[in-house]
Amino acid sequence: MDLTARGGSGEGAPPGPRDGRAKLLVILYALAALVAAGLGAGPLLGLPCEKCTGGLLPMIVPWVGATGYGWLAFLAFRSHRSPWLSPTLGLYVFVHACLTVESFGLHRMCAGCLAAAALAVLAALVQSWLNPGDRLTLVCSLVLGSLAGFLHPFDRVDYWVTRKAWPAKILNAAPRSWTRTG
């Protein structure tokens, strides 16, 4: 059985991409993972971003992104035809489209977040170039994610989660005139 016809490594051949576009896909996923890890490390190092901090989700999302994009880089390194790459494309493109449209609408554009989104969308474009079946997923995710950014901002979800899991954080964000001072 010839595994190279299905995108596998074949006998005796080392795993990993041999096509330039497949290598570009791995590089873009790895860069997105590094940018996301940098966004997650910023608050831990005392360098929080003024635009995207303030709740519980902005503290967790970069680490989820770094882990996810690192995993996708590994999968793309093994084979750009991995069955996990297509469904995840729909998820991360939707999320980045939603968050980007919302950040523009709320005038909270973070350079790091926009860089991670740009790298992710570039990876999605390369992936849809390698796997033409992913093109419809890419277009639908971009359109629906952008619409979701207008209809249900991430900020509301973030504050709801923060209120439920970390209520003291909401009180710290309130203006002094709203809180009792002893």
pTM: 0.71
Do residues 26 and 75 lie in contact, with contact meaning Cβ atoms separated by under 8 Å?
no
Distance of alpha carbon 30 from alpha carbon 40, whole angstroms: 15
Distance of alpha carbon 109 from alpha carbon 50, whole angstroms: 10
Give the residue-averaged pLDDT of 107-120: 87
Query: pLDDT tens, 42-82?
Result: 877 777 676 665 566 677 888 899 999 999 999 999 887 88
Query: pLDDT tens, 28-41?
Result: 999 999 999 988 88
In 3-state terms, what secondary structure has residue 27? Answer: helix
CATH number at 18-171: 1.20.1440
Distance of alpha carbon 156 from alpha carbon 137, whole angstroms: 27
Domain boundaries in the chain? Answer: 18-171
